[in-house]
Amino acid sequence: MFNFTNEERKVVVFLIAVSFLGIGINFLYKIHPASAKILNVNEKICKLDLNKASLNDLLCTKLIRPKLCKEIILFREKNGPFESLESLKLVKGIGDKRYEKLKEIFFVQ
């Protein structure tokens, strides 16, 4: 029916295999949402400079509630740029536990 060359057959088999793999991962994620941690589905690849990040940048992280994003911006406006990542703990609403999560996505230059 189809007259594929050997290389074309390999490409078709590869595309089918990748499709099934994607369907399997999607199915796994839907039946067991905790698998997102294993698969790093929501992990952000790049880090944000805490002193240059805009409100929209902070909102895009999805780790911070909008109210806390505004608190970070207000703190920066009142006290000037963050001197270190540790000074993030001085923002109202950020304790040790939340700081541990946030230090993975921010840096201070």
**Confidence at residue 2, expressed as pLDDT on a 0 to 100 scale:** 77
- Average pLDDT of the chain is 85
13-60 confidence digits (pLDDT tens): 999 999 999 898 888 777 876 666 555 555 545 788 999 999 988 888
**Confidence at residue 101, expressed as pLDDT on a 0 to 100 scale:** 87
3-state helix, strand and coil shares in percent for the chain, rounded to the nearest 5: 60, 5, 40
**Can you give 53-77 as a three-state secondary structure string?**
CCHHHHHHCCCCCHHHHHHHHHHHH
**Confidence at residue 47, expressed as pLDDT on a 0 to 100 scale:** 84
pTM of the model: 0.58
